[in-house]
């Protein structure tokens, strides 16, 4: 795929695959205008960076009287930015919100669709969820269309979004955060910086692994997670550096499968411990997740008999650990070192100290991770703070 002189992406023709609300296939982004037209919207609010809008070929929306563009957000969405988007929504009164971008752009679009524009009311929704009734954030937005430009977050098929207010993380988990339509074009990832591409792929890997062993897992969610894991094993080796159509399709499919899995199960402790690394030390989200998965996998295996909290028992959790190991043709004992090697192969250090985390900071990392209760308690093995601290020291 090449960029045209206008900066827009030229795409090969392919047959789109539609499953439920998801349209998947190379070149399918060209149908975004038609999709929005079909929704009958007189006013559309587009949440996207300016660069993302141009790369996807929708720079013409800036001059459209039907569209308003909101690009005033940053990576790891901040509540003040989201509220600015909500204020624009209230002024513009769209019936459709389009979120185009990576996980941060899509999460921002979800929140702009759902939250009230006032800070106190928004914080109440973030603290306790939102209602669809008179007391909830009735914003008038009927449709949410999400278009990912990276492969990893799976946000296009989940009903939750993350936002930070200062150093405090909020997870908004509600049907209003679910896309009514998702358009997934693997070719939109062409030109994605390698650091972003690898971090996103690591995020998808952690989604698959954590969903497999999550206490909320089901037979169906584990099927999706296993499919995602199998799809990632090849590309997450040296093939991620190929940037071929085949690899792009595999990564996009795997991200979708992993997203569908965590939409049922939610994530676990690797994500719970990742947020602090991202917010405090600037570690990219997917990298932070895989750094924590490195110690967490071994912790879950070693402490399973003594601290199992999954009602299905240790044998059930052990099968999930073995499933992960088998994907790489490893023993359970060999997985943590393999994850360290994977980080190194993709250009990232497997040691926390290389990201500015000091020995004296580790206790704060543990407190922040265990304090992210929704994700921490979904872990199949209880997180004993002293044992977790010992485990984290081993990767420092």
CATH number of the domain to which 259 belongs: 1.20.1090.10
Whether pLDDT at 115 is above 90: yes
Regarding whether 249 and 175 lie in a shared domain, the answer is no
What letters, b where the CB count within 10 A reaches 16 and e where it falls short, cover 205-220?
bbbbbbbbbbbebeee
CA distances from 231 to 192, 236, 247 (A): 20, 9, 9
Q: Examine the pLDDT at 304 and tell me if it is beyond 60.
A: yes
Q: What band does 167 get if pLDDT is binned at 50, 70 and 90? A: confident
For residue 344, give the 3-state DSSP assignment: helix
Q: What are the pLDDT digits (tens) for 178-187?
A: 999 999 999 9
pLDDT at 127: 85
Which of 135, 164, 187 corresponds to the end of one domain? 187
- Residue ending a domain, among 136, 166, 187, is 187
- Whether residue 19 has pLDDT greater than 80: no
Question: Quick one: pLDDT at residue 146?
Answer: 97
Do 141 and 236 have their domain in common?
Answer: no
Same structural domain, 97 and 242: no
Least Cα distance to 291 among 267, 314, 272, 310 occurs for 272
Decide: 99 and 144 in contact? Cβ < 8 Å.
Answer: yes
Last residue of a domain, one of 138, 169, 187: 187
Span of 11-25, 188-202, 213-227, 264-278 with lowest mean pLDDT: 11-25
Query: How high is the pLDDT of residue 17?
Result: 57
Would you say residue 2 lies in a domain? no
Together in a domain, 164 and 273: no
Q: How many domains does the chain have?
A: 2
Residue 2 pLDDT > 90: no
Which pTM was predicted?
0.90
Do 169 and 282 reside in the same domain of the chain? no
C-alpha–C-alpha distance, residues 85 and 71, integer Å: 9
Report phi then psi at 180, rounded to 5. Answer: -80, -25
Whether 104 and 203 have beta carbons less than 8 Å apart is answered as: no
Are residues 376 and 263 located together in one domain of the fold?
yes
Q: Give the pLDDT band of residue 22 (cuts 50, 70, 90).
A: very high
245 and 123, same domain (yes or no): no
Under DSSP, is residue 312 helix (H, G, I), strand (E, B) or coil? coil
Classify residue 291: in a domain, yes or no: yes
Q: Average pLDDT of 240-261? A: 90
Closest CA to 271 of 205, 187, 358: 205
Report the pLDDT value the prediction gives residue 20, as an integer from 0 to 100: 54
Q: Same domain for 291 and 277?
A: yes
Q: Are residues 113 and 161 in the same domain?
A: yes
Q: Which domain holds residue 339?
A: 193-393
5: in domain:
no
Residue range 76-91: mean pLDDT, rounded: 95
Per-residue pLDDT at 382: 97
Q: Are residues 182 and 223 in the same domain?
A: no
pLDDT-derived band at 158 (thresholds 50, 70, 90) equals very high
Cα–Cα distance for residue pair 139/116, rounded to 1 Å: 7
What is d(CA 15, CA 6) in angstroms, rounded to the nearest whole number? 25
Contact 109, 98 (CB under 8 A): yes
pLDDT > 70? residue 110 = yes
Using an 8 Å Cβ cutoff, are 213 and 170 in contact?
no
Distance CA 254, CA 228 (A): 4
Stretch among 21-30, 129-138, 282-291, 359-368 having the lowest mean pLDDT = 129-138
- CA gap 34, 47 in Å, rounded: 18
- Asked, for residue 355, whether it belongs to a domain, the answer is yes
DSSP character at residue 246? H
Is 3 among the domain residues? no
Residue whose pair of structure tokens reads 């930015």 in the numeric block: 81
3-state secondary structure of 174: coil
The verdict on residue 357 lying in a domain is yes
Could you give the 3-state DSSP secondary structure of residue 275? helix
Determine, yes or no, domain membership for 63. yes
174 and 231: one domain?
no
- The verdict on 217 and 357 lying in the same domain is yes
The CATH number linked to 104 is: 3.40.50.1970
pLDDT of residue 132 exceeding 50, the answer is: no
Within a domain: 8: no
Instruction: Report d(CA 353, CA 350) in Å as an integer.
Output: 9
Q: For residue 73, what are its two tokens?
A: 């957000």
Q: Compute φ and ψ for 48, nearest 5 degrees.
A: -165, 150
Residue 372 has pLDDT above 80, yes or no: no
Q: How confident is residue 67, by pLDDT bands cut at 50, 70 and 90?
A: very high
């Amino acid at each position: 795929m090449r960029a045209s002189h206008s900066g827009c992406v030229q795409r090969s023709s392919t047959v789109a695959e539609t499953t439920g609300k998801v349209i998947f296939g190379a070149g399918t982004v060209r149908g975004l205008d038609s999709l929005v037209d079909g929704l009958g919207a007189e006013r559309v609010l587009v949440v996207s960076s300016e660069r993302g809008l141009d790369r996807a070929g929708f720079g013409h929306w800036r001059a459209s009287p039907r569209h308003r563009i909101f690009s005033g957000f940053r990576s790891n969405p901040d509540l003040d930015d989201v509220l600015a988007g909500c204020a624009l929504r209230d002024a513009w009164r769209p019936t459709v919100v389009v979120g185009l971008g990576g996980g941060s752009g899509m999460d921002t679009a979800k929140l702009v669709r759902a939250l009230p524009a006032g800070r106190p009311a928004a914080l109440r929704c973030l603290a306790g969820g939102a209602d669809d009734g008179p007391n909830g954030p009735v914003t008038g937005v009927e449709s949410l269309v999400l278009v990912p430009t990276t492969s990893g977050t799976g946000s296009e098929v989940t009903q939750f979004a993350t936002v930070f207010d200062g150093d405090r993380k909020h997870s908004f988990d509600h049907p209003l955060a679910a896309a009514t339509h998702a358009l997934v074009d693997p070719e939109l990832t062409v030109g994605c910086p390698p650091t972003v591409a690898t971090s996103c792929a690591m995020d998808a890997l952690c989604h698959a692994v954590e969903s497999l062993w999550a206490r909320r897992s089901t037979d169906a969610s584990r099927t999706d997670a296993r499919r995602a894991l199998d799809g990632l094993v090849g590309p997450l080796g040296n093939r991620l550096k190929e940037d071929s159509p085949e690899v792009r399709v595999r990564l996009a499919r795997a991200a979708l499968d992993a997203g569908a899995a965590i939409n049922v199960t939610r994530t676990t402790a690797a994500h719970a411990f990742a947020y602090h690394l991202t917010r405090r030390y600037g570690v990219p989200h997917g990298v932070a997740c895989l750094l924590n998965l490195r110690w967490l996998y071994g912790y879950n295996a070693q402490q399973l008999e003594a601290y199992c909290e999954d009602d299905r028992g240790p044998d059930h959790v052990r099968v999930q650990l073995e499933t992960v190991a088998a994907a790489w043709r490893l023993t359970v004992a060999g997985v943590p070192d393999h994850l360290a090697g994977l980080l190194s192969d993709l250009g990232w250090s497997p040691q926390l100290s290389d990201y500015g985390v000091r020995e004296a900071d580790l206790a704060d990392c543990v407190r922040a991770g265990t304090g992210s209760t929704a994700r921490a308690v979904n872990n199949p093995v209880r997180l004993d703070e002293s044992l977790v601290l010992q485990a984290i020291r081993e990767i420092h």
